[in-house]
Amino acid sequence: MRHAFSYATALASSEKIRWRVEDVIGGEKRLDFSMPFLPESLARVEPLTFLSPAEQTALNQIRAHEYLSMFGIVEEFILPFVLDHVRPHLSGDDARVRALLQFAGEEAKHIDLFKRFRAEFDQGFGTPCAVIGPADAIGREVLSHDPLAVALVILQIEWMTQRHFEESVRDDRGLDPQFASLLRHHWSEEAQHAKLDTLMVEALAAGRSKDRLLSAVEEYLAIGAFVDQGLATQLELNLASLEAATRRTLTPAERESYRTHQRRAARWTYLGSGMTHPRFVETLEALDPRVAKRVADVAPAFC
Ligand SMILES: [Fe+2]
Ligand SMILES: [Fe+2]
């Protein structure tokens, strides 16, 4: 393996970075609904030229609400997964136990943070935005798979959040500072999670035959397909929210354009940006080049 990640260094970094939910939201720290929330690289509202600038901002914010909800969903299955991974080996490597418990504690904090943002959004946006769910049913389906497949999904999510923050910095033309702060704070802790999850993947893959590695990748792709189905449902829910928020009914041609552009945008946001992250690919390569190739062959559909 090419990386130099360890439980001890991830724990040390995490203890240096640690922030409180109150440092990110509450008091003066409010969302500004006159501004876009998500980086354009993720929201991709600009190609929808039939929407006015205000309508594009509304769609950007609906996508940001989706983002809060999607992270609410994924953090809720990451938390029990990490706890299940640490529970059987509580004696022995103290740094490992502490680093993984810290990881779980941070995900519990992120669940709380995303919920607080969502509550403020619901209050300020003015139009209810429906989301897929319920989160526990989605989590049960994901967790029913091979733990190595689940760990790969989580690793992809951790690296994906790194990319999302980097893109928000690169793309910060008038991005709401409060939403950018959410992405930044999340990024700072997820950087340690990505390292710890790399170690979890290695532990779960140790001693597996090539066939069992390849079967885990098939299950990882099955979870991806399940997420992708959810994104297709969310696309339609977002369309209904957009029409309600803008008091406008899109023409059939406008809907067609909306679906084409937004389908690609959501696939990139939640699947492609993680599947193609160089550090994720590096882990796949280290498992087995055939594993990496299988994912690389599928990835372009999500980019
Ligand atoms: Fe998180
Ligand atoms: Fe995380």
135 has pLDDT over 90: yes
Q: What is the pLDDT of residue 187?
A: 93
Q: Is 76 helix (H, G, I), strand (E, B) or coil?
A: helix
Question: Ligand 2: distance of its center to the CA of 193 in Å?
Answer: 5
What pLDDT score does 167 carry? 81
Say how far apart CA 223 and CA 148 lie, in whole Å.
Answer: 12
C-alpha of residue 246 to centroid of ligand 2, in Å: 34
What mean pLDDT, rounded, does the chain reach? 95
Looking at residue 64, its amino acid is A
Report the CATH number that the domain containing residue 237 is assigned in CATH.
1.10.620
In a domain, 289, yes or no: yes
Over residues 261-289, the mean pLDDT reads 97
In a domain, 1, yes or no: no
Any domain includes 137 = yes
Asked, for residue 16, whether it belongs to a domain, the answer is no
Does residue 140 sit within a domain? yes
Q: How far, in Å, is the centroid of ligand 2 from the Cα of 73? A: 12
Tens of pLDDT, residues 192-222:
999 999 999 999 999 999 999 999 999 999 9
pLDDT in tens, 90-133: 988 999 999 999 999 999 999 999 999 999 999 999 999 999 99
How many helices and strands (H and E) does the chain possess? 12, 0
State which residues form the domain around 219: 51-302
270: which DSSP letter? I
- The answer as to whether 10 is a domain residue is no
Ordered DSSP codes for 150-194? HHHHHHHHHHHHHHHHHHHHHT-TT--HHHHHHHHHHHHHHHHHH
Give the pair of three-digit tokens for residue 196.
Answer: 């710890």
Ligand 1 geometric centre to CA of 137 (Å): 19
Q: What is the pTM of this model?
A: 0.96
Task: Assess if residue 37 is contained within a domain.
Answer: no
Give the confidence band of 171 by pLDDT, cuts at 50, 70, 90. Answer: low
Tokens 């990024």: give the residue: 187
User: And the tokens for 133?
Assistant: 């769910």
In this predicted model, what pLDDT tens digit does every residue of 25-61 receive, in sequence order?
999 999 999 999 999 999 999 999 999 999 999 999 9
Would 31 be classed as within a structural domain? Answer: no
Query: Is pLDDT larger for residue 53 or for residue 172?
Result: 53
Q: How large is the average pLDDT for residues 276-303?
A: 97
Q: What is the rounded distance in angstroms from the CA atom of residue 231 to the CA atom of residue 277?
A: 20
Spell out which residues have Cβ within 5 A of ligand 1, the ion.
110
Q: Distances in Å between the alpha carbon of 253 and those of 50, 130, 249?
A: 10, 24, 11
Count of domains observed in the chain: 1
- CA distances from residue 44 to 41, 189, 190 in whole angstroms, order as listed: 6, 26, 24
Ligand nearest to the CA of 154: 2
What confidence score (pLDDT) does residue 124 get?
Answer: 96
Amino acid, res. 194: A
d(CA 160, CA 259): 23
* CA 97 – CA 282 distance, rounded (Å): 25
| Ligand 2 centre distance from Cα of residue 182 (Å) | 13
The rounded Å distance from CA 138 to ligand 2 centre is 17
